[in-house]
Amino acid sequence: MADLETRLHDALGDAGAHTEPSPDLFARVVGSIADDRTRRRHARGIALAWAAGVALTAVLTITLTPKDEEGLHMPWWILEIATNVALVGIAVWLGPFIKRFGRAYAADVFHDNPLTGKSYIVLTDIVYYLIFAAYILFTIRVEPPLSWVDEVSARLVKDELVRVGGILLIIGMLHGLNIVIMPVLGRLFSLNRRLPPRMGG
């Protein structure tokens, strides 16, 4: 064991003796630690906001729901508001989550065009929120789904679950398609950049 430690010490010592330390190494390490703390605080803030939103929605739902000796009689609009709040919460939480892991993938795909990769991420964020906003506006209800139903029933609950599942399915399919298409676009941009410019005349 002593012989192995000696060999490692000699090898690492020789390599370190011929290597000049980076002048901004300490600053980069400090910056990396600060960025990690910022990301952790941001993640905790999102988690707390999500939990607070769920708790507030639950409290308002229970408070606004009429109750008698037969139990709770929830009006249809309370379930509608709760579903829309849930959809907005999913959009706010899922967007940064996808973006966090998409940055590294985009950087690897667009390694020859880093600015293009950043622009691509920004554009996909815009498309993501536009799809969520359009879906919520398309599916929102402003009147009872049936004229003779003014309270929440099993059918209404199922319809709202279909709304939530529908947007998750749409975002999942588009995200999978984006994963497949992005390397093709990155390759095309790389080839376009390597092509020599055409000579005039």
Lookup result for tokens 């939990």: 51
List CB contacts of 88: < 8 A, sequence separation 6 or more: 136
Contact between 110 and 123 under an 8 Å Cβ cutoff? The reply is: no
Specify the DSSP element, H or E, that contains 143.
none
Between residues 176 and 62, which one has the greater pLDDT? Answer: 176
Distance (Å) of CA 79 to CA 35, 49, 145, 156, 162: 40, 21, 12, 8, 13
| pLDDT band of 21, cuts 50, 70, 90 | low
**CA dist 78 → 26, 50, 82, 127, 131 (Å):** 55, 19, 6, 29, 24
- Rounded to an integer, the average pLDDT of 28-44 is 72
* Alpha-carbon distances, residue 18 vs 24, 147, 158, 200 (angstroms): 18, 83, 69, 50
Angstrom distance (rounded) from CA 194 to CA 155: 58
Which tops the pLDDT comparison, 22 or 199?
22
Task: Give me Rg for the CA atoms of the chain.
Answer: 27
- Looking at 32-36, 116-120, 172-176, which range is the least confident one? 32-36
Q: Which band of pLDDT confidence, cut at 50, 70 and 90, is reported for residue 156?
A: confident
**How far is it, in rounded angstroms, from Cα 132 to Cα 13?**
57
Cβ-based neighbour number of residue 2 at 10 Å: 6
Domain ranges of the chain: 65-194
Mean pLDDT along residues 108-123: 80
Least confident of 15-24, 57-66, 172-181: 15-24
Contact 106, 123 (CB under 8 A): no
The whole-model pTM stands at: 0.62
The type of residue at 194 is R
Secondary structure (DSSP) of 1-20: -HHHHHHHHHHHHHHHHT-P
